[in-house]
Structure 1
Amino acid sequence: MTVPLPPLPPTAGVDDDHYRPGGLSMVDLLTEEHEQIGALCRELADPALAADQRHRVAEVLVATVTRHLSGEEQYLYPSVRGALADGAEVADREIAADADLLRALRELSGTASDDPAYGAAVAEVTGQVDRHTRAATTEIFPALRTVASEAELIRLGNRVQIAEEAAPTRPHPDTPATPPWNRIVEPAVGVVDKVRDAVTGRQTYVDDLPDGTRP
């Protein structure tokens, strides 16, 4: 069984079954992102982190997780749904959990770092991120590797990267979470978010953080 892919451009003179595109596989890419997100959560929970640094790290965490979930919903879960025997159940479960995580991110982004509720907001996000990562690492990724070729996973990884670049940077838990509508709505919402980020000077990437603040 192979993973269903969106239509691909033809590769002149190359047998598609033996073509290996460049880039990271979707599994490797998302695994790296899980590690980066986990590091941001640990950094944010550090009681020694100064208030201004905490605000920057929180902004980057919210944006990074939001982009990550958008990429997964556009390409990981449709692949899971189409390729695994229990894929529909797994995808539906993870999409529902994503909505909860997006709501937790929205709560975190709306809570001041000196608010007594801030620590609980960080803990809620961290707990949901940990659950998300465990499900992917122990269940979803191993199952996908058994049914998809490396070339398919690399092509999916390329698409996830493109989707994340156009994705929202702020949590929108009520937007569509399944294709085709999320592939239409997410880039449009992403444009609005990026304009707001530019106007407010909001930082959204780990590389935007000062060296001493990067996890």
Structure 2
Amino acid sequence: MPVPLPPLPPAPGDDEEYRPGGRSVVDLLAEEHARIGGLLRELADPRLPAQRRSQVAQVLTATVSRHLSAEEQYLYPAMRASLPDGGPLADREIAADTEVLRMLRDLAGTAPEDPRFGGLADDLGGKLRRHADAADREIFPVLREVATDAELIRLGNRVEIAEEAAPTRPHPGHPVSPPWNRVVEPALGVVDKVRDAVTGRRTYVEDLGNRPQPR
């Protein structure tokens, strides 16, 4: 069953074996889930100094915000069109994503020294682990069955492009379905990136550098 995709440049000729450059959306998102898991494990380390904890929380917030934005723009519409029960599954995940964004907003507004910080981080970690587990069990295997390799790669390319323009901060009250999220999310992303540049906020795992040894 072909997976409906947003408009893309046509593939060369009519060769069904044509394989575009890039990464499968499944591989891309699975790797991001693993990266998010690594950030959660570091955030949960009780030996982590407060400054480092704040930096890890910043990167986690930005990473998850970009990730969820791209999934809502491209993965969930593909699920609705192509997977058995894809509509209800997408609705469930969007509702869960909205809750994750609210939790990210609460975490971002809480100082690492605040006694509430640890509980917020633990609750968020549980939600994000559920998110990754649902993708591994319910979404990725079926998507591999119904989509060609070329379709998965082209969808992965769209997700990567969307993430580059996506917000780096949680905006749980904004549109979560096409076409409006594909208009609103890049605009919010521009505003967020300006704020990040002005404040020196970290938004990528690479920005963290090597972890200092706790004393």
Q: TM-score band, normalised by the shorter chain? A: over 0.9
Indicate the residue corresponding to 2:108 in structure 1: 109
What value does the CA root-mean-square deviation take over the aligned residues? Answer: 0.9
TM-score, L = length of structure 1: 0.97
Task: Give the gaps of 5 or more residues in structure 1.
Answer: none
Paired with 2:187 and 2:96, the residues of 1 have a C-alpha distance of: 23
Paired with 2:15 and 2:122, the residues of 1 have a C-alpha distance of: 46
CA drift at 1:7: 1.5
Task: Give the gaps of 5 or more residues in structure 2.
Answer: none
Structure 1 position 153 matched with structure 2 position 152: yes
Paired with 1:18 and 1:8, the residues of 2 have a C-alpha distance of: 17
Paired with 1:119 and 1:11, the residues of 2 have a C-alpha distance of: 49
Taking the TM superposition and a 5 Å limit, the aligned residue runs for 1:109-148 are 109-148=108-147
- Identity fraction in percent: 66
Paired with 2:127 and 2:174, the residues of 1 have a C-alpha distance of: 19
Indicate the residue corresponding to 1:73 in structure 2: 72
- Runs of 4+ with deviation above 3 angstroms: none
Indicate the residue corresponding to 1:3 in structure 2: 3
Indicate the residue corresponding to 1:177 in structure 2: 176
C-alpha distance 16-73 of structure 1, shift in aligned 2 (>3 A): farther
Indicate the residue corresponding to 2:32 in structure 1: 33
CA drift at 1:22: 1.0
SS in 2 for 1:112: coil
Indicate the residue corresponding to 1:203 in structure 2: 202
Counterpart code for 1:80: M
Residue-pair matches, total: 212
Indicate the residue corresponding to 2:97 in structure 1: 98
User: How big is each residue's C-alpha offset from its partner over 1:106-147, in whole Å with a ceiling of 9 and x where there is no partner?
Assistant: 011000101110011101110000110010001100011110
User: How big is each residue's C-alpha offset from its partner over 1:12-40, in whole Å with a ceiling of 9 and x where there is no partner?
Assistant: 4x225222111110000000000000000
Counterpart code for 2:175: P
CA drift at 1:11: 3.2
User: How big is each residue's C-alpha offset from its partner over 1:64-101, in whole Å with a ceiling of 9 and x where there is no partner?
Assistant: 00000001001110010000120100000000000000
Paired with 2:16 and 2:89, the residues of 1 have a C-alpha distance of: 28
Taking the TM superposition and a 5 Å limit, the aligned residue runs for 1:53-72 are 53-72=52-71
C-alpha distance 16-75 of structure 1, shift in aligned 2 (>3 A): farther
Paired with 1:128 and 1:16, the residues of 2 have a C-alpha distance of: 42
Paired with 1:59 and 1:75, the residues of 2 have a C-alpha distance of: 25
